[in-house]
């Protein structure tokens, strides 16, 4: 009887005395934040005339971004609406790539050229109405030779008509946050339009999205190739593919309205950069402008892989839970873009919640990790619960007390 009385008293005390004292969680962020210190490519500055280039280039508008994070490293009039010429085909290739990756179409599919596709002027592979080519062949013609007829044929195949495909282009641009873009066709031909416009910033956004499709570089890095069993020769319009180390693409464009344009991507030592140049006076100057921006980016920046000491990730007390403590889970930490020579100045700050009340859900935020550079947070991640922790029931509480009285062991 005396032992039963002790148990009842213990249960009462458990519910009276175990009043949780919770840490202030108002500073916990729910998602990873963008690096502070660089502007995100989707964040348009107030003034479109902003120029942060430390050197002169021949271009009306330009931007340099780091591809994995979207951070803007340099810009010049990046939000000025301009004609993009065949750089338009980056969006065309993106929609085709997405159709391939979701198995809507395949590279082996055969496409029959329509009269509409064959009527396009400018760069072309001279498709004849009724001629059949595979998606692979047409895609290569677009990526390497900037063929307008091939781009139109692919758009018609993906969406059923050129009009429907252009609607899809504009819808995808809206989804990507390309707020200053409107497409009138899948080619970039602008002799009959005054509304086919975009910006260097928006081109950087869609270029970054296209490069997420791994197979793209298999096409955009081709220097020379052929179609029709060697009868039609393709030479890449992007001369950087041959003459600039690390080039991974991406697309050129030229019309009298647009001038000479290029979206150039390159990779060195794991660092991926995209330089967009619009409105140069000639082809040589656009490539020189892109090279200058890319070289500056590679010379001044590097990727740092932060390391976290697991001993600093301490347990969190769980009140009224089937587990007394849980160790927060550290997420996968992405490399951080930093200035060369400053790697040692990046520090980490770990904040862990003092305690929580059950139930706890898997993935629930239990703290944060911040990476600090020059007093500012350049990246932030949540520490989360690795599992669910259910709340103790009355029966569970009694059983736990009985086990404690019997063994003297405290459950973790």
Above 50 in pLDDT, residue 14?
A: no
pLDDT the model gives residue 407: 66
Asked about 123 being catalytic, the answer comes back as: no
User: Mind listing the pLDDT tens digit for each residue in 117-154?
Assistant: 999 999 999 999 999 999 999 999 999 999 999 999 99
**Of these residues, 44, 146, 207, 292, which one is catalytic?**
146
Hey, where are the domains in the chain?
17-37+306-407, 47-301
CATH class of the domain defined by 47-301: alpha beta
Instruction: Provide the pLDDT for residue 408.
Output: 58
Task: Classify domain 17-37+306-407 at the CATH topology level.
Answer: Peptidoglycan synthesis regulatory factor (PBP3), Domain 2 (2.60.410)
- Residue 48, pLDDT score: 53
Residue 359 has what pLDDT? 95
Is residue 169's pLDDT more than 70?
Answer: yes
pLDDT > 60? residue 12: no
The mean per-residue pLDDT over the stretch 181-201 comes to 98
Q: What per-residue confidence (pLDDT) applies to 191?
A: 95
Q: What is the pLDDT of residue 397?
A: 62
pLDDT given for residue 381 in this prediction: 95
In this predicted structure, what is the pLDDT of residue 20?
Answer: 37
Please write the tens of the pLDDT for every residue from 23-38.
333 333 333 333 334 5
pLDDT at 41 over 50: yes
Catalytic residue among 71, 89, 140, 291: 89
State residue 3's pLDDT score. Answer: 45
Q: What is the mean pLDDT of the chain?
A: 88
Percent of the chain with pLDDT over 70: 84
Residue 354 confidence (pLDDT)? 86
pLDDT at residue 22 tops 50:
no
Q: Cα(208)–Cα(228) distance, rounded to whole angstroms? A: 31
Residue 394 has pLDDT above 80, yes or no: no
The mean-pLDDT minimum among 32-46, 194-208, 356-370 falls in: 32-46
The residue among 398 and 30 whose pLDDT is bigger is 398
| pLDDT greater than 60 at residue 5 | no
pLDDT at residue 302 is higher than 50: yes
Instruction: Report, as an integer, the average pLDDT of 12-22.
Output: 38
Query: Higher-confidence residue: 20 or 148?
Result: 148
The pLDDT-based confidence of 396 (bands split at 50, 70, 90) is low
Annotation says 167 is catalytic: no
Q: Is residue 146 annotated as a catalytic residue, yes or no?
A: yes
Per-residue pLDDT tens over the stretch 70-81: 999 999 999 999
Check 44, 86, 123, 385 and give the catalytic one: 86
Q: Rounded mean pLDDT of 249-270? A: 97
pLDDT at 35: 37
pTM of the prediction? 0.82
Range name among 113-122, 329-338, 386-395 with the lowest pLDDT average: 386-395
Question: Is 404's pLDDT higher than 60?
Answer: no
Q: Of 26-30, 295-299, 380-384, which gets the smallest average pLDDT?
A: 26-30
């Amino acid at each position: 009887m005396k032992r039963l009385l002790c148990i009842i008293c213990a249960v009462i005390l458990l519910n009276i005395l175990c009043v949780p004292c919770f840490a202030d969680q108002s500073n916990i962020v729910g998602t990873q934040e963008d690096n502070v210190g660089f502007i995100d490519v989707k964040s348009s500055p107030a003034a479109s005339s902003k120029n942060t280039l430390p050197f002169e280039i021949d271009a009306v508008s330009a931007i340099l971004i780091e591809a994995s994070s979207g951070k803007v490293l340099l810009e010049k009039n990046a939000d000025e609406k301009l004609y993009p010429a065949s750089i338009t085909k980056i969006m065309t290739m993106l929609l085709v790539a997405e159709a391939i990756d979701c198995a809507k179409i395949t590279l082996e599919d055969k496409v029959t050229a329509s009269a509409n596709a064959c009527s396009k002027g400018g760069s072309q592979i001279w498709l004849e109405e009724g001629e059949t080519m595979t998606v692979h062949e047409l895609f290569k013609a677009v990526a390497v030779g900037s063929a307008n007829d091939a781009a139109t044929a692919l758009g018609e195949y993906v969406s059923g008509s050129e009009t429907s495909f252009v609607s899809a282009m504009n819808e995808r641009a809206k989804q990507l946050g390309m707020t200053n873009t409107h497409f009138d066709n899948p080619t970039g031909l602008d002799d009959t339009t005054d509304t086919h416009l975009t910006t260097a910033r928006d081109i950087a956004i869609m270029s970054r999205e296209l490069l997420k499709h791994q197979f793209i570089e298999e096409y955009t890095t081709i220097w020379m190739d052929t179609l029709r069993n060697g009868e039609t020769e393709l030479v890449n319009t992007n001369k950087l593919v041959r003459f600039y180390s690390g080039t991974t693409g991406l697309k050129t464009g030229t019309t009298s309205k647009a001038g000479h344009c290029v979206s150039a991507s390159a990779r060195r030592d794991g660092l991926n950069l995209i330089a967009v140049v619009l409105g140069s006076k000639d082809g040589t100057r656009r490539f020189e402008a892109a090279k200058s921006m890319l070289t500056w980016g590679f010379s001044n920046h590097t990727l740092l892989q932060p390391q976290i000491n697991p001993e600093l990730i301490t347990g969190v007390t769980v009140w009224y839970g089937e587990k007394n403590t849980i160790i927060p889970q550290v997420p996968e930490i992405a490399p951080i873009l930093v200035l060369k020579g400053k790697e040692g100045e990046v520090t980490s700050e770990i904040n862990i919640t003092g305690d929580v009340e059950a139930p706890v859900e898997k993935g629930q935020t239990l703290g944060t990790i911040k990476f600090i550079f020059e007093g500012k947070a350049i990246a932030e991640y949540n520490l989360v619960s690795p599992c669910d922790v259910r709340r103790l029931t009355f029966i569970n509480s009694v059983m736990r007390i009985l086990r404690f009285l019997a063994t003297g062991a405290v459950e973790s």
